[in-house]
Structure 1
Amino acid sequence: MDNSEKLNLLLVKLENLLLRQQGFEAEIKALRDEIKAMQSPGTAPIHSQTVNHPVIAPPPRNTPPSVAAQNSAIPKPISGTFPPNTNPPQPNFSDRFKRENMVKSDFEKFIGENLISKIGILILIIGVAIGAKYAIDHEMISPLTRIVLGYAMGAGLMAFAIKLKAKYDNFSAVLVSGAIAIMYFITYAAYDFYSLIPQALAFGLMVVFTSFTVVAAIKYNKQVIAHIGLVGAYAVPFLLSDGSGKVGVLFTYMAIINIGILILSFKKYWKPLFYASFSLTWIIFLSWRLDLSSDNHFFGLSILFSALFFIIFYITNLAYKISKKEIFGLSDVVIILLNSFIYYGIGYFILSENKNSVELLGLFTLVNAVIHFIVSLIIYKKELADRNLFYLILAMVITFITMAVPVQLNGGWVTIFWTVEAAILFYLGRVKLIAIYEKLSFPLIFLAFFSLLQDWTTYYDVYFGSEVITPILNVGFLTAVIFIASFIWMFSISKKETEKSAEWIWMRQILSYSIPSILLLVIYVTFRLEISKHFNNLFELTKINTNPGAKSSYVDFQYNYNYEQLKTAWIYIYTLFFASALTYLNIKKLKNGELAVTSLVINLIIVVAFLTHGLYNLSELRDAYLFHENKYFNISSFNIGIRYLSLAFFALLIVQCYKLMKSGLLKRNFKTMFDYLLYLSILWIISSELINILELAELDGSYKLGLSILWGVYSLFLISKGLAKNKKHLRIGAMVLFGITLIKLFVYDIAYLSTISKTIVFVSLGILLLIISFLYNKYKHLIIDDVEVKN
């Protein structure tokens, strides 16, 4: 098909679409006439004209047969409809133009009929206020005349609005709201500035205006009346203020406005109105109260109106939802939380700034919890709303009780309370499937842990203050025991599968690791601290004044510092036992792979710490026993005996590491690593023991010779073991050790050894080297076979 044929076909389609459009327009006109006739009863009905359906235009002359055939295939509409299984024709440019004009017309209508009227009434109110202010400042008319004219203008505007309601509902609503705002202005001015009416009458009129506003807003079903009439009335004190500082009048006035919004909330759910009132009230109150700083002149007024605003907004936020039994959304929850914590923050600030009321902070926090508890109880008993609201407000009760404890109490009691509360919330959340309680337990678990850390810090402060604390029988230990019991309970709960999946999966994943980790850390540190307390007490009890007759500035105290080193040794024994017990418990009972990896890492750290610092501390104890020169204290042979007790527990830990490797809990094979750990530990221990024996035998200069020979013999032992067990890594390790021994011999030992010692060392190492070479030659087939098997 060439271009001319395509052009002809398109022209035919265009003519057919235009004809269809004419048919549709005729049908639309007929329908509109019938609707108008039905809307105006008593008039003669308008009979719609018969709509001539569009006729398919014949193809233009010289139209090729193919184009004509396509034209004849276009379906004909029947009775203004389209044939089945066919798509309606696409609108042409004329339809699009009409729609765009309609959108523009709607926008223009919104501006002309709605927006301009609201802007106009606001400008009118501002203009009246400015004019009134000018007239007042220049004393153009008497105060009574000003008030009368103001009421007259408001009443006239109200009458005009009521008259227009039947035909111009929206415009009438705007005028009503403006009239109400003017009435507020005038009443406030008549009472506050001119004292023309008494306080009772002023607030009686405001109650009347507020009641009328509520009725008008409901009658018109327009938020604009409430917005301009009530929220707009907040501007009254600021536009007409004379700086007199009558805050009691201002806050009473605001309370009346908010009560009107509260009444509205039982009938209408107008969120913007509530948000505006909520924001303006707290902003005005906070701006005033924070500006007072520590001024106690308005103490009672601040407490009274902050509580009043809090209660009004609390009930307002619940009113409509409870009356309609609707589910609370996120915005409702946010408002409840904001209102509660703004009020609590203001109250806390007011009480803390007054030195006579600081002791009431805990009681004030508890009162907040009681208020929320009463609300939750009413909702629960009356079944006023969905259970999520009940759980939310009950969570607020728990939150404020949680806050009341540190405010009123201190030390370990705070930790105990938070720990038990976290455990109970975790139980309710995980077992009773109340999701919000599990979420609340999440921060409390860490809060309790950090509180316990703070308690431990306090213990060290007390220790440095030289105060004696009885081990086990103290509040710190009781706190830790309750903490441990609560976390054991939570750990057992967390291991059980729940039917309901978590809303916050990441939270459960964190807790699954955090709870056992915190539990292990707290168990270890708790008993370690009690050991420290025992030896710290012993250390304090050895305090001796060596110059009792001297003045206080010349007093010289002596302590038995041996207890410091004994404390370190016992802490190492306890640490070795704790790591061994944890590994054993996991192997026999828990069988947890992740804990197995954790235990392996912990065990390695403890082994390294003991071989380095632990053995050094034991050598310090030996030296304290051997070279003790303090005439005031005696050092017993237990300084030597504790060494072998420590080595026994170290051996126990090594055995548990071996059992852990054999248990199958570790996914990887750590056999080679364990061999290095075992034989390196043996070498380190026997080297330390050799030095210890030589020191006790007062052969302190012989340890260089002894270590060289010992390391050579140990290298021979490792090579023999490597050949017997066919372990290449042991043989390589032995060669490395022998190399280190030779380097030590030539670089370090020769300079300090006598001729006889040098002879002994060289002969001994030479013999050892020959033995090693002999063993390699004798058992070389084992090494070769091993290589072939691996290949």
Structure 2
Amino acid sequence: MDNSEKLNLLMIRLENLLLRQQGFEAEIEALRNEVRALQSPGAANITPAIPAEPVIAPPPRNTPPNPIVQNQAAPRPVTTPVPTPANPAQPNFAERFKRENMVKSDFEKFIGENLISKIGILILIIGVGIGAKYAIDHDMVSPLTRIILGYAVGAGLMGFAIKLKARYENFSAVLVSGAIAIMYFITYAAYDFYALIPQALAFALMVIFTSFTVVAAIKYNKQVIAHIGLVGAYAVPFLLSDGSGKVGVLFTYMAIINIGILILSFKKYWKPLFYASFGLTWLIFVSWRLDLSSSYNYFALAILFSSLFFITFYITNLAYKVSKKEIFGFSDVVILLFNSFNYYGIGYLIISNNKNSAELVGLFTLANAIVHFIVALIIYKKKLADKNLFYLILAMVITFITIAVPVQLNGGWVTIFWTAEAAVLFYLARVKDIAIYEKLSFPLIFLAFFSLLEDWIAYYDIYAGNSIIITPILNVGFLTACIFIAAFFWIFKINKKESEISSEWIWMRQILNYAIPAILVFAAYITFRIEISKYFNNLFELSKITIKPANKSYDQHNEYNYNLHGLKTAWIFIYTLFFASALTYLNIRKLKNGEMAIANLIINLFVIITFLTFGLYNLSELRDNYLLPESKYFTVTAFNIGIRYIGIAFFALLIVQCYQLQRSGLLKKDLKILFDYLLYISLLWIISSELINMLELSHSEASYKLGLSILWGIFSLFLISMGLAKNKKHLRISAMVLFGITLVKLFFYDIYSLSTISKTIVFVSLGVLLLIISFLYNKYKHLIIDDVEAKN
């Protein structure tokens, strides 16, 4: 009887004893329950949560026995319950013993049958390599003998592995992989270092070994054969390298290995094998390319093998998934993208560094797009995979076309292409519900916008450095901007209409909801503003007069009509006022968007403040240029004065639109007080500026003193009257504040430089105004009191 049979008998006896023990425990527990039932009537059906063994103290020697116990002494029929484990969820001891031994057995089996064999074959290969290298270094055997012995060792190991396959398949698989690696090793050495076999024969042998590896890996269904036989073969050239730099041979050798992995991928999807081959190939190639001392060496070789590696891994990554029609996972997508962009980056570096082909970078980028397009077309026509893979590869096509445009083209054409591409992708994403296109359109929208900004900056840079004339409206820059505006208006309409479609990236949708209208408004405003600048810049360049002084000791110089700069600024302010008014009107009448209304309010306030400060100051400079011309060569007309009233008219239009915006209800807040402040401050500012303008035109002195003080006093009276008539407390308080400012100005600024008559006029006027204000307060005080009581 062997040990296994003894172990089985002992296990059976152990289980029998455990079952008998459980039966005894159940019988004892039943007896205890009956005793408790007799000792405590009514508690027979109460089962304690945790059975506790009762402790019965021994009776004294002279105490008679308990009658209840004596009555219990009568024999009772006891039904032995079926033995059940105390806790069914807990495995019994025998099961635990079996499981622990099974785990130990599996772990021992993994080490003994799997790990040790692989470590052993690796150590054997390393040992043979070290021994071979030692023999080579010391010329112990001739090159031919070394090769023959190497093949003999590989063949012997292969034969031994095949013989053991029937009974020891795992061990045999390890030996086969080691034998294949040795065959690679010897063939490479025979051709590259000893020149004992021609190149054609060496490649033929490698193809045979690769084919055998593929067949063996499929027959054994073991990755280890492919790993050691194919991927392990990558180390061969580096183990035998003598620094000769025969990269063509190396890359051909690597290409053969990769083709073997490609063939395997149609049958098996061994990810670790593909990852190892993919990583090693690109690592070796990129390291070689970056290590080149000359940028122009190996141009054709680098393009050829990088393209071959790219196509091989492209097909390998798709082969199994497409043949089995499986969905691409995250890792598959990462590999696809990395393979494509890594190849493009290497190719871009190779081509751009070659002086004879640098202009072909755009064509190379387009070729990448064509390759992906062909793959996408085949997948779509043959229906080889799910639509997500088709859309992913089509997205690659779009990406490379997007890259090709700035690489090959320049200027506005890049902006036009990116804008059209972003609009088409956004349309397909929202209308056709293709999520990946929306993700692609997101960066393109901002790329197109930044490209347009670059076009505008380039225009100003060119103009600043050169005296050029660009025809307004009829130029490429304006055409580019109009296409951009039209495309973004289309995107805006689609985004507004198709916003209910679900999105994977909610944050992106939220950004676009604000970014698209903001970009559209900004682009529309800047486009026409630049055309206004172009028109006046042309006039400025055309106004150039070359002055040749009579005295030859002075050099000739150019004179320009600098008044045109002031006119350009004034027209830009007028255009800005009109644009803000039109944008507000559009939102009130057509869009009726609350968020846009807030933007309208902010824009309008900014434009109003800018015009009241810088705009009116520019108009004052135009007036001064009319009154005191700087150059005798140019005539400044009265239009310098007339344009002032055009600006004020458009300013009034914007104030009206602000009033309409406040009444529209789009702001969802009562902003009447804010509008009152805006209206009356603007009105005071404008009439003060106009008073100064009129006084300057009439050549009156002290225009900033006497006239303004009286005007502010009258305006204070006007505010008091409006506050009393409309029962607006904030207007009355504002009037008092303004009158206080007027008095401070009078005593600390006006009084020192005014003549006696002027002082008399100012003091009498302000005194009369104060008396009128006091009279109005006394006459209408009941309105003020009633208003306060009503609010309280």
Fold similarity call, TM over 0.5 = yes
One-letter code of the match for 2:777? Y
Q: Does the 8 Å CA contact 1:362/1:407 hold for their aligned counterparts?
A: yes
Aligned amino acid, residue 758 of structure 1:
K
Aligned counterpart, 2:23: 55
- Tell me, yes or no, if the aligned pair for 1:23 and 1:52 is still in contact at 8 Å: no
Describe the shift of the 1:498–1:568 C-alpha distance in structure 2 as closer, same or farther (beyond 3 A). Answer: closer
Partner of 1:728: 729
Say if 1:390 and 1:63 are closer, same or farther in 2 by CA, change over 3 A.
closer
Contact 1:23 1:54 in 2 (8 A): no
Residue 390 (structure 2) aligns with = 390
Please give the alpha-carbon distance, in whole angstroms, between the structure 2 residues aligned to 1:567 and 1:398.
43
Partner residue in 2 for 1:617: 618
Per-residue CA deviation, residues 225-251 of structure 1 (Å, 9 max, x unaligned), is 000100000000000011111000000
Q: What is residue 371 of structure 1 aligned with on the other side?
A: 371
Q: What residue is the counterpart of 1:515 in the other structure? A: 516
CA distance in 2, matches of 1:788, 1:89: 81
Q: 1:111-150 maps to which residues of 2 (within 5 A)?
A: 111-150=111-150
Cα deviations across residues 237-284 of structure 1 (Å, max 9, x unaligned)? 000011111000000000000000000000000011000000000000
Report 1:683-762 matches (<5 A): 683-762=684-763
2:449 corresponds to 1:422: no
Task: Tell me, in whole angstroms, the C-alpha distance in 1 between the residues paired with 2:536 and 2:146.
Answer: 87
Q: Which runs of 5+ in 2 are unaligned?
A: 1-7, 38-43, 52-77
Q: Distance in 1 between matches of 2:215 and 2:552?
A: 88
Does the residue aligned with 1:557 lie in a helix, a strand or coil? strand
Distance across 2 between alignment mates of 1:75 and 1:87: 16
Distance 2:480 2:254 in 1: 49
Report which stretch shifted further, 552-561 or 408-417: 552-561
Q: How does 1:108-257 map to 2 (within 5 A)?
A: 108-257=108-257
Output one character per residue of 1:469-522: Cα deviation in whole Å (capped at 9) or x when no partner.
Answer: 111111110000000010011111111136641111111111111111100000
> Which AA in structure 2 matches 1:187?
T
1:332 aligns with 2:332: yes
- Counterparts of 1:657 and 1:75, CA distance in 2: 93
Tell me how far 1:112 sits from its aligned partner: 2.1
Paired residues for 1:771-790 under 5 Å: 771-790=772-791
Structure 1 segment 408-557 matched on structure 2, within 5 A: 408-464=408-464, 465-497=466-498, 500-547=501-548, 554-557=555-558
Alignment CA distance shift 1:559-1:73 (3 Å):
farther
**Partner amino acid for 1:329?**
G
Distance across 1 between alignment mates of 2:624 and 2:248 = 80
Counterpart-to-counterpart distance in 2, 1:468 and 1:369: 39
State the AA in 2 paired with 1:218: I
The question of whether the paired residues in 1 share the 8 Å contact of 2:11 and 2:94 is answered with no
In the other structure, the counterpart of 2:283 is 283
Against the structure 1 CA distance between its residues 681 and 89, is the aligned structure 2 distance closer, same or farther, given a 3 Å change threshold? closer
Contact kept, 8 Å, 1:542 with 1:560, in 2: the verdict is yes
Structure 2 CA distance, aligned partners of 1:245 and 1:305? 15
1: CA distance between counterparts of 2:202 and 2:81?
78
1:543 to partner: Cα distance: 1.4
* TM-score, length-scaled by structure 2: 0.91
Q: What is the letter of the counterpart of residue 511 of structure 2?
A: I
Offset of 1:123 from its aligned partner? 1.6
Deviations 1:173-230 (A, max 9, x none): 1111010000000000000000000000000000000000000000000001000100
Q: Secondary structure at the match of 2:634?
A: coil
Distance change (3 Å), C-alpha of 1:60 and 1:679: closer
Amino acid at match of 1:534: Y
Please report how far the alpha carbon of residue 104 of structure 1 lies from its aligned counterpart in structure 2 after TM superposition.
3.4
Match for 1:436: what amino acid? I
**Given that residues 431 and 498 in structure 1 are in contact (C-alpha distance below 8 angstroms), is that contact kept between their aligned partners in structure 2?**
no
CA drift of 1:736 comes to 0.3
Partner of residue 3, structure 2 = none
CA contact (8 A) 2:373 2:394 kept: yes
Shift of 1:611: 0.2
Cα drift, residue 296 of structure 1: 1.4
Q: Which piece of structure 1 moves more, 650-659 or 128-137?
A: 128-137
Alpha carbons of structure 1 residues 408 and 728: separation in structure 2 relative to 1, 3 Å:
same
| CA separation of 1:253 and 1:740: change in aligned 2, threshold 3 A | same
Q: 2:653 aligns to what? A: 652
Alignment partners' CA distance in 2, 1:519 and 1:105 = 71
Alignment of 1:16-95 (within 5 A): 26=12, 55-57=23-25, 58-59=27-28, 65-66=34-35, 76-77=82-83, 88=88, 90-91=90-91, 95=95
| Alignment of 1:263 onto 2:232 | no
- Summarize the Cα distance change of 1:397–1:64 in structure 2 as closer, same or farther, 3 Å threshold: closer
Render the CA deviation track for 1:435-468: whole Å, top value 9, x for unaligned. Answer: 1111110100000000000000001011112211
- Structure 1's 434 and 130: CA in aligned 2 closer, same or farther, altered over 3 A? same
* 8 A Cα contact 1:56 1:76, kept in partner: no
Deviation at 1:703, TM superposition (A): 3.1
Which amino acid is 2:421 matched to? E
Q: CA–CA distance in 1 between the matches of 2:549 and 2:313?
A: 71
How far, CA to CA, are the matches of 2:79 and 2:429 in structure 1?
Answer: 70
Inter-CA distance 521–238: structure 2 relative to 1 (3 Å threshold): same
* Closer, same or farther: CA 696–545 of 1 in aligned 2, 3 Å: same
Per-residue CA distance 1:299-322 (angstroms, 9 max, x = gap): 010000000000000000010011
Q: Distance in 1 between matches of 2:239 and 2:716?
A: 97
Distance 2:9 2:755 in 1: 127
CA RMSD of aligned residues (A): 2.4
Structure 2 CA distance, aligned partners of 1:734 and 1:60? 101
* 2:582 pairs with 1:581: yes
Q: Helix, strand or coil: the match of 1:752? A: coil
SS state at 1:747 partner:
helix
The offset of 1:110, in angstroms, is 1.5
Alpha-carbon contact 2:430-2:498 (below 8 Å) kept = no
Q: 1:496 and 1:624, CA in 2 relative to 1: closer, same or farther beyond 3 A?
A: same
When the two structures are superposed, what TM-score results if normalisation uses the length of structure 1?
0.91
CA offsets per residue over residues 310-358 of structure 1, 9 Å max, x none?
0000000010011111111111111111100010000000001001101
Distance between the aligned counterparts of 1:281 and 1:758, measured in 2? 95
Change (3 A) 1:171 1:753: same
Task: Indicate the percent of aligned positions where both proteins have the same amino acid.
Answer: 77
1:296 corresponds to: 296
Please state how far the C-alpha of 1:100 moved relative to its aligned partner.
3.7
DSSP-derived class of the 1:125 partner: helix
After TM superposition, give the deviation of residue 536 of structure 1 in Å.
0.6
1:653 aligned partner, one-letter code: L
The alignment partner of 1:554 has SS state of: coil
Q: CA separation of 1:495/1:134 partners in 2, compared to 1, >3 Å: closer, same or farther?
A: same
**CA spacing shift, 1:553–1:244, aligned 2, 3 Å:** farther
Code of the aligned partner of 2:389: L
Distance 2:324 2:306 in 1: 28
CA-to-partner distance for each residue in 1:397-455, whole Å, 9 max, x for gaps? Answer: 11111111100000000000000000000000000111111111010000000000000
Amino acid at match of 2:322: I
Q: 1:269 to 1:62 in 2, by over 3 A?
A: closer
Gaps of 5+ in 1: 1-21, 31-50
Output the CA distance in 1 between the equivalents of 2:375 and 2:552. Answer: 67
**Cα distance between partner residues in 2 of 1:553 and 1:167:** 109
Partner secondary structure for residue 23 of structure 2? coil
Mark the CA change 1:728 to 1:88 in structure 2 (over 3 Å): closer, same or farther.
Answer: same
Amino acid at match of 1:508: R
Higher mean C-alpha displacement, 706-715 vs 555-564: 555-564
Q: CA deviation at 1:26?
A: 4.2
The code of the aligned residue for 1:708 comes to: S
8 A contact 1:723–1:782 mirrored in 2? yes
Q: CA deviation at 1:547?
A: 2.5
Aligned mates of 1:89, 1:374 — CA distance in 2: 60
In the alignment, is the contact (CA less than 8 A) between 1:303 and 1:350 conserved in 2? yes
